């Protein structure tokens, strides 16, 4: 393992680490990212909030594609990187976890008190009455009204949808909110063009302000949604360490940057931290 990993392990042993994770930590679970080595932006345009709200045809397209994609997202399992973060938290070294991911894999991997910056695909909200339900319940309802829908996924996108033919989308039936008899249902995630709830942003800033180290895992930090926490840490003089495949827009502010797969680096960090602690 590189000298950088040893240096990072020493930083971790001081504790009070806040983790900021991005899509790169989930790629080894079969969920691609947008901009990394498996990035999908070159072939896939994510749904925007404005389009989803304003275009019924776009909503049908989204739910048809997401219905198929959910088969992959719902079955995805945490990988060694997720488990490693959970182990560092269990050792009392990670004080908080902020994830830009919507897949829930940190929690499945054993992590607790995870702030899901962009929400979760595991929940659905009604835009009319605010009622919240599980994605599993919606999936059962969609299955009931689409018994003959036989579309299959070829490759899942980071936001949980897949590419389908127009005729497959046209055959798909959507359902409305049960609580208010027909309200528009939306996955409880922050779409492109949508604003992260202010209370959630404040919670993340507060975590960063109490940190001894901000550890960025698997994020290119291309969008301000995540990069602002790196900028905030740098402004406060809080060290920033980054582990990612490829350069990031936060490298300028990092005291340490490691370019390597997280599934390799993170388990080794757990081992090195245990060695430093004499475990």
Report the distance separating Cα 216 and Cα 85, nearest Å: 12
Place of tokens 């809080």: 238
Report the distance separating Cα 22 and Cα 225, nearest Å: 11
Report the distance separating Cα 93 and Cα 215, nearest Å: 12
Phi, psi angle pair for 263, to nearest 5°: -65, -15
Binding residues: 22-42, 100-103, 126, 129, 177, 180, 218-220, 244-246, 262
**Residues 6+ positions from 188 with CB-CB distance below 8 Å:** 119, 120, 121, 123, 124, 125, 132
Report the distance separating Cα 105 and Cα 102, nearest Å: 8
Q: How far is CA 12 from the centre of its chain?
A: 23
**Sign of the torsion formed by the C-alpha atoms of 260, 263, 269 and 272:** negative
Report the distance separating Cα 106 and Cα 26, nearest Å: 9
**Sign of the torsion formed by the C-alpha atoms of 30, 260, 103 and 187:** negative
Binding residues for Zn(2+): 126, 129, 177, 180
Sort strands 94-99 and 17-21 into parallel, antiparallel or unpaired. Answer: parallel
Residue 44 falls in the annotated catalytic set: no
Residue 171 Cα distances to 52, 145, 148, angstroms: 19, 11, 9
Contact 221, 250 (CB under 8 A): yes
Exactly one of 83, 118, 122, 123 is catalytic; which is it? 118
Tokens of 277: 């602690």
Binding residues for NAD(+): 22-42, 100-103, 218-220, 244-246, 262
List active site positions: 118
């Amino acid at each position: 393992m590189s000298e950088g990993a040893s240096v990072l392990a020493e930083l971790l042993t001081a504790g009070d680490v806040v983790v900021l994770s991005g899509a790169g930590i989930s790629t080894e679970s079969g969920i691609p990212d947008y901009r990394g080595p498996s990035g999908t932006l070159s072939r896939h345009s994510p749904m925007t909030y404005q389009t989803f709200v304003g275009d019924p045809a776009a909503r049908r397209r989204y739910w048809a594609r997401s219905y198929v994609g959910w088969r992959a997202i719902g079955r995805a399992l945490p990988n060694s990187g997720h488990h490693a973060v959970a182990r560092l938290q269990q050792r009392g070294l990670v004080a908080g976890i902020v994830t830009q991911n919507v897949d829930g894999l940190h929690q499945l991997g054993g992590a607790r008190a995870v702030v899901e910056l962009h929400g979760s695909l595991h929940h659905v909200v009604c835009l009319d009455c605010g009622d919240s339900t599980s994605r599993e319940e919606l999936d059962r309802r969609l299955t009931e009204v689409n018994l003959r829908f036989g579309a299959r996924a070829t490759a899942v996108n980071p936001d949980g949808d897949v590419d389908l033919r127009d005729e497959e989308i046209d055959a798909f039936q959507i359902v409305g909110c049960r609580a208010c008899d027909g309200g528009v249902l939306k996955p409880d995630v922050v779409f492109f063009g949508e604003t992260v709830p202010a209370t959630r942003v404040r919670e993340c800033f507060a975590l960063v302000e109490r940190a001894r180290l901000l550890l960025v895992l698997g994020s290119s930090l291309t969008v301000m949604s995540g990069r602002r926490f790196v900028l905030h840490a740098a402004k406060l003089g809080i060290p920033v360490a980054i582990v990612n495949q490829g350069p990031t827009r936060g490298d300028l502010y990092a005291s340490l940057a490691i370019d390597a797969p997280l599934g390799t680096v993170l388990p080794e960090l757990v081992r090195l931290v245990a060695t430093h602690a004499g475990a």
